[in-house]
């Protein structure tokens, strides 16, 4: 019985793939035939929209309409029954728990972006001069292959805590105890828990920054570097006065990309601490208001605030790409 059920599911999946792919191909083919029957001038204007229409329809259905609905809900009460004006936004900017979330997000933005990009740049410059460059890059980039949840599970073992006098199963506390100090509750100590979570994100994003910045470093003309050395510049001066200015656009793109990831970080906080002990960030607070407290108005308002925070960064990135294309 179970085998029959599995066979039916397999056949259904194959049929869905074949019919879905075939249906899309048939749709584009039929639309192309119809457009080709139109006059040339009309056809040239309509044809691009024919190919974009399915993607635009999906984008509208699953992104634009839900966004508009969320904005509307942000002005309504917890059950989305009555208008409350800006009450939900006032709550977001005055509630003590929300202020903690904003503080933590700023801390994440500064440390994760700054440290990840800085480490990535330094590593990119250093490994460019060694013979085992591919191996070094592969090891540093390896964490990027791990999901945020997977990385959080790994680091829960690294941060594991046992009371003094008990064998430590956490790698970090085992090292601390071996050095003669007391074990530290990395995830329960409010002094260090946010930094412990931030370290995970830095571990994940440094490889990403390194790969992109390494490509930019390799793009610097060697004759410029040789000329600087002939003029008496040391490696430190070359790094600050030639390398960084010449790859500044790449540094900006990498930084803004990491900023977008940090603004919507949720997985690490949820898996490691659940947002407790003053570790909440904006995204985790949104989930709590929406699904734990069942307050759809406040949850929607926080979602809108998060969206408004991401939009300027994305616009900056798009303009940067446009400028690069225009300069080519």
How would residue 204 be classed by pLDDT, with cut points 50, 70 and 90?
very high
Q: What is the mean pLDDT of residues 276-304?
A: 92
**Is the Cβ–Cβ distance between 156 and 267 less than 8 Å?**
no
Q: What is the pLDDT of residues 109-129, one digit of tens each?
A: 999 999 999 999 999 988 888
Helical pair 193-218 and 148-158, crossing angle rounded to 10 deg: 130
pLDDT of residue 325: 66
Please give the DSSP secondary-structure letter assigned to residue 169: -
Q: Angle at CA 112, nearest 5°, toward 120 and 264?
A: 125
pLDDT at 247 over 60: yes
Q: What is the mean pLDDT of residues 207-214?
A: 91
> Exposed/middle/buried for 291, CB within 10 Å: 0-12, 13-18, 19+?
exposed
Please give the DSSP secondary-structure letter assigned to residue 76: B
Q: What is the pLDDT of residues 10-27, one digit of tens each?
A: 888 788 788 777 777 787
pLDDT at 178 over 80: yes
Q: How far apart (Å, rounded) are the C-alpha atoms in residues 25 and 43?
A: 20
Q: Show the tokens assigned to 227.
A: 């000329």
> 83 by DSSP, 3-state: which?
strand
How would residue 3 be classed by pLDDT, with cut points 50, 70 and 90?
low
Q: What is the mean pLDDT of residues 247-276?
A: 89
pLDDT of residue 2: 61
Share of the chain above pLDDT 90, in %: 38
pLDDT at 180 over 90: no
pLDDT at 296 over 70: yes
Q: Show the tokens assigned to 81.
A: 């029954």
pLDDT of residue 56: 86
Q: Show the tokens assigned to 35.
A: 């457009």
Q: What is the mean pLDDT of residues 130-152?
A: 87
pLDDT at 97 over 80: yes
Q: What is the mean pLDDT of residues 178-192?
A: 90
pLDDT of residue 327: 66
Lowest mean pLDDT among 14-28, 54-68, 193-207, 240-254: 14-28
Please give the DSSP secondary-structure letter assigned to residue 231: T
- Mean pLDDT score across all residues of the chain: 87
**Is the Cβ–Cβ distance between 123 and 210 less than 8 Å?**
yes
Which residue in the block uniquely carries the two structure tokens 């930019």? Answer: 216
Please give the DSSP secondary-structure letter assigned to residue 62: I
pLDDT of residue 198: 95
Q: How far apart (Å, rounded) are the C-alpha atoms in residues 167 and 165?
A: 7
Distance of CA 281 to the CA centre of its chain: 14
pLDDT at 72 over 90: yes
Q: Is the dihedral of CA 26, 30, 31, 32 positive or negative?
A: positive
CB atoms within 10 A of CB 47: 15
Q: Show the tokens assigned to 226.
A: 């040789």
Q: How far apart (Å, rounded) are the C-alpha atoms in residues 247 and 96?
A: 41
């Amino acid at each position: 019985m179970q085998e029959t059920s599995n066979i039916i599911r397999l056949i259904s999946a194959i049929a869905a793939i074949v019919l879905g792919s075939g249906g899309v191909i048939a749709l584009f083919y039929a639309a192309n035939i119809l457009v080709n029957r139109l006059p040339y001038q009309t056809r040239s204007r309509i044809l691009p929209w024919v190919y974009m229409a399915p993607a635009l329809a999906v984008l509208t259905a699953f992104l634009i309409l839900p966004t508009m609905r969320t904005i509307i809900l942000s002005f309504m009460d917890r059950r989305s029954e009555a208008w409350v004006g800006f009450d939900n936004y006032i709550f977001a900017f005055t509630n003590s728990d929300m202020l903690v979330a904003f503080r933590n997000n700023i801390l994440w933005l500064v440390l994760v972006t700054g440290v990840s990009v800085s480490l990535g740049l330094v590593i990119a410059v250093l490994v460019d001069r060694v013979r085992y460059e591919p191996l070094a890059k592969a090891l540093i980039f390896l964490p990027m292959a791990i999901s945020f949840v997977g990385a959080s599970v790994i680091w829960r073992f690294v941060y594991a805590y046992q009371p003094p006098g008990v064998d430590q199963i956490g790698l970090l506390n085992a090292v601390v105890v071996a050095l003669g100090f007391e074990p530290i509750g990395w995830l329960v100590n409010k002094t260090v828990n946010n930094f412990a979570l931030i370290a995970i994100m830095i571990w994940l994003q440094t490889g990403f920054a390194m790969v992109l910045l390494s490509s930019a470093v390799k793009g610097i003309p060697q004759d410029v570097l040789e000329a600087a050395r002939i003029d008496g510049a040391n490696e430190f001066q070359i790094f600050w006065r030639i390398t960084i200015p010449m790859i500044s656009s790449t540094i900006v793109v990498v930084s803004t990309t990491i900023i977008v990831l940090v603004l919507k970080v949720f997985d690490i906080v949820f898996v490691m601490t659940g947002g407790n002990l003053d570790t909440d960030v904006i995204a985790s607070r949104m989930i709590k208001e929406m699904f734990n407290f069942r307050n759809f108005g406040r949850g929607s308002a926080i979602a809108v605030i998060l969206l408004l925070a991401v939009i300027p960064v994305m616009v900056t990135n798009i303009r940067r790409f446009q400028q690069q294309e225009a300069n080519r």
